[in-house]
C-alpha cells in the first residue's frame, strides 16, 4: 500500500489557477482500447508506477467517439476504468497516454479528449509534468512508432516532458515483438491473438517505473 502525500500545485508548475491544482501523488494512466490490447499495456504500466513508493496510478479511459455529433455516452462506463476528466489531467503529477494504432495515428477517441484540453493549455496546467506514451497494433510494422509520435506532439504543445524507454532496458534490444524507445508497444496480431510477450511486459513495467521516478524527482526538485 502506498503512503499518499499531497503535492501543492505551486510546487509543480507555475500556474496560479486553483482550477489547475496538482493535489495528489498520482500519475494518470489514460487510454482508449476497443479490443483490450492497449488496456493490457495500461495495466502493466500502472503496475510499474505502483511499484514506486508514494506514487499511485490513476487509471482512466475515454469513450468511443460517435459519428452522431454530441451523442452522449453514460457518465460512468458499464465496466472497466472510469472515464477521464480534465480534472484528472490537472491533479496528476504525470501522464501515461495510450491508444491503439489507427492508420499509423492515434485513435479519434484519444484525439477528441486531447482536443478538449484548451483550458489546460491556456493555464499551463501540464507544463513541466512528465508524460509517456504506449500503443498496440495488429501488424508489427503497421505504424506503432508513428502513432506514438502522434501522441507526443500535443503533449509537447502542453509543455510536458517526454519520458521514453532507454536502451539500458535489455528487452528493448532483444524483443522480437513490440517495444520501442519512444514508448512500449504490443504486437497484437490481426485477430488480437498475441499475448503480451515477456519483453513487452518488462518494457511496460520499466516505462511505468521510469515515469513515476521522473515525476517524483521533478516534484522534489520543485521543492528546493
Ligand X SMILES: Cc1cc2nc3c(=O)[nH]c(=O)nc-3n(C[C@H](O)[C@H](O)[C@H](O)COP(=O)(O)O)c2cc1C
CA-based nearest residue to 30, from 105, 114, 142: 114
**Closest separation between CB of residue 86 and ligand X, Å?**
23
- What are the C-alpha distances in Å from 15 to residues 12, 20, 110, 113, 136? 9, 7, 25, 22, 34
45 versus 52: smaller Cβ distance to ligand X: 45
CB 99 within 8 A of CB 38: yes
**Closest separation between CB of residue 41 and ligand X, Å?**
8
Which residues in this chain contact ligand X in the complex, by CB under 6 A? 33-39, 100-104, 136-139, 142-143, 188, 192
CB 95 within 8 A of CB 30: yes
- Taking CB atoms, the residue at the shortest distance from ligand X is 142
104 versus 159: smaller Cβ distance to ligand X: 104
**Closest separation between CB of residue 25 and ligand X, Å?**
28
**Closest separation between CB of residue 190 and ligand X, Å?**
8
143 versus 164: smaller Cβ distance to ligand X: 143
Q: Is the dihedral of CA 149, 168, 28, 60 positive or negative?
A: positive
* DSSP-derived secondary structure letter, 179: -
80 versus 82: smaller Cβ distance to ligand X: 80
Amino acid at each position: 500500500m502506498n503512503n499518499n502525500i499531497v503535492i501543492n500545485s505551486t510546487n509543480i508548475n507555475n500556474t496560479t489557477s486553483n482550477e489547475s491544482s496538482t493535489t495528489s501523488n498520482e500519475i494518470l494512466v489514460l487510454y482508449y482500447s476497443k479490443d483490450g490490447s492497449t488496456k493490457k499495456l495500461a495495466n502493466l504500466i500502472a503496475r510499474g508506477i505502483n511499484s514506486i513508493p508514494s506514487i499511485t496510478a490513476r487509471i482512466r479511459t475515454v469513450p468511443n467517439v460517435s459519428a452522431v455529433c454530441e451523442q452522449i455516452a453514460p457518465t460512468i462506463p458499464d465496466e472497466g476504468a472510469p472515464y477521464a476528466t480534465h480534472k484528472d489531467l490537472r491533479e496528476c503529477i504525470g501522464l501515461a497516454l495510450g491508444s491503439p494504432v489507427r492508420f499509423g495515428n492515434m485513435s479519434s477517441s484519444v484525439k477528441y479528449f486531447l482536443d478538449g484540453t484548451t483550458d489546460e493549455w491556456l493555464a499551463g496546467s501540464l507544463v513541466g509534468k512528465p508524460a509517456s506514451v504506449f500503443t498496440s497494433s495488429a501488424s508489427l510494422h503497421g505504424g506503432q512508432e508513428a502513432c506514438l509520435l502522434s501522441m507526443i506532439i500535443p503533449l509537447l504543445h502542453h509543455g510536458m516532458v517526454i519520458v521514453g524507454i532507454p536502451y539500458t532496458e535489455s528487452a528493448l534490444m532483444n524483443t522480437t515483438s513490440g517495444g520501442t524507445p519512444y514508448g512500449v508497444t504490443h504486437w497484437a496480431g490481426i485477430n488480437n491473438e498475441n499475448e503480451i510477450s515477456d519483453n513487452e511486459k518488462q518494457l511496460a513495467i520499466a516505462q511505468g517505473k521510469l515515469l513515476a521516478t521522473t515525476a517524483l524527482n521533478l516534484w522534489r526538485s520543485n521543492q528546493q
